[in-house]
C-alpha cells in the first residue's frame, strides 16, 4: 500500500469508459489518494428527469503516488495507463489540482468546458476560491471561472460572483524584463 503520499505527485490516469467511480473506489481501498471531480447533470428517462453525478473529466481519475512504484496503480481494474509524454508519466501541476479541488469543495455549479488558453486571467480575491487563478468568461448572463488541466487539455467552468474577481496585471504574471525596462542601462565590461 502507498503510505508516502507527502512526497508524491498527482498523475492523471486514463480509465476505461464509465469506470471512473470504480477505479477511484479501488484506489482508495488500496490506500492511494485519488480525486474524481464530479458535476450534477439532469438526464431524462422515459418517465422522469433525474439528477446524476458525472465526472468533470470523463475517462480520467487523478491519483497521487510515487511514479517509481506505479505497478499497483496500473494493476487496478479499469486503469488503462498513466497520462504522460511518450512512455514517461507526466505529473499534473499541483496548483491546477488545488484549483479543481477548490471548485468541487465550493459546491457552486460547475460543468465541463472546452480547453482555453487565451482570455482574461483573473485571481479570485474573496469567497471559496480565494487565491485561485483562472480565465473569466461571461456565459448566459453569469460569470464563470474556467480552470484547466494543461496536460489533459481539458477545462471546467465554475459559476462565480463577479464581486470576487480581480484582474491580474501583466506585470504580476510576466517575469522581470530586461534591465533597460527598469530604468537601468546596460554597459559592456571593458
The pLDDT assigned to 31 comes to 96
List the domain boundaries for the chain.
Answer: 1-92, 93-174
Domains 1-92 and 93-174 share a fold: no
* Right CATH for 1-92 from 3.30.70.940, 3.30.360.10, 3.90.1300.10, 3.30.200.20: 3.30.70.940
Contacts of 104 (CB under 8 A, 6+ apart): 37, 38, 110
| Sequence-ordered strand ranges (E) for the chain | 9-15, 33-35, 38-44, 49-55, 60-65, 79-82, 84-85, 88-89, 110-113, 120-124, 133-139, 142-149, 154-160, 165-167
In this model, does residue 149 exceed pLDDT 70? yes
Distance, CA of 155 to CA of 174 (rounded, Å): 23
Instruction: Please tell me the CATH code under which domain 93-174 is placed.
Output: 2.30.30
For residue 147, name the pLDDT band (cuts at 50, 70, 90): very high
Quote the Cα angle for 91-25-93, to 5°: 15
Contacts of 12 (CB under 8 A, 6+ apart): 57, 60, 61, 62, 82, 83, 92, 149, 151, 152
Cell numbers that stand for 142 in this block: 453569469
For residue 183, name the pLDDT band (cuts at 50, 70, 90): very low
High-pLDDT (> 90) share of the chain, %: 59
pLDDT digits 0-9 by tens, 22-68: 999 999 999 999 999 999 999 998 899 999 999 999 999 999 999 99
What does pTM read for this prediction?
Answer: 0.76
Cell numbers that stand for 151 in this block: 496536460
Amino acid at each position: 500500500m502507498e503510505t508516502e503520499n507527502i512526497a508524491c505527485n498527482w498523475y492523471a490516469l486514463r480509465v476505461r469508459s464509465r469506470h471512473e467511480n470504480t477505479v477511484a473506489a479501488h484506489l482508495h481501498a488500496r490506500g492511494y489518494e485519488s480525486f474524481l471531480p464530479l458535476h450534477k447533470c439532469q438526464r431524462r428517462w422515459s418517465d422522469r428527469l433525474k439528477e446524476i453525478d458525472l465526472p468533470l473529466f470523463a475517462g480520467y481519475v487523478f491519483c497521487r503516488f510515487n511514479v517509481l512504484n506505479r505497478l499497483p496503480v496500473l494493476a487496478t481494474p479499469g486503469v488503462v495507463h498513466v497520462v504522460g509524454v511518450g512512455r514517461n508519466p507526466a505529473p499534473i501541476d499541483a496548483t491546477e489540482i488545488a484549483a479543481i479541488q477548490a471548485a468541487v469543495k465550493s459546491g457552486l455549479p460547475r460543468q465541463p468546458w472546452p480547453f482555453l488558453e487565451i482570455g482574461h486571467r483573473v485571481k479570485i480575491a474573496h469567497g471559496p476560491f480565494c487565491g485561485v487563478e483562472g480565465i473569466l468568461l461571461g456565459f448566459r448572463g453569469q460569470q464563470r471561472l474556467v480552470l484547466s488541466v494543461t496536460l489533459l487539455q481539458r477545462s471546467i467552468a465554475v459559476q462565480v460572483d463577479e464581486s470576487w474577481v480581480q484582474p491580474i496585471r501583466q506585470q504580476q504574471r510576466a517575469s522581470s524584463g530586461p534591465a533597460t525596462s527598469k530604468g537601468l542601462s546596460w554597459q559592456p565590461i571593458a
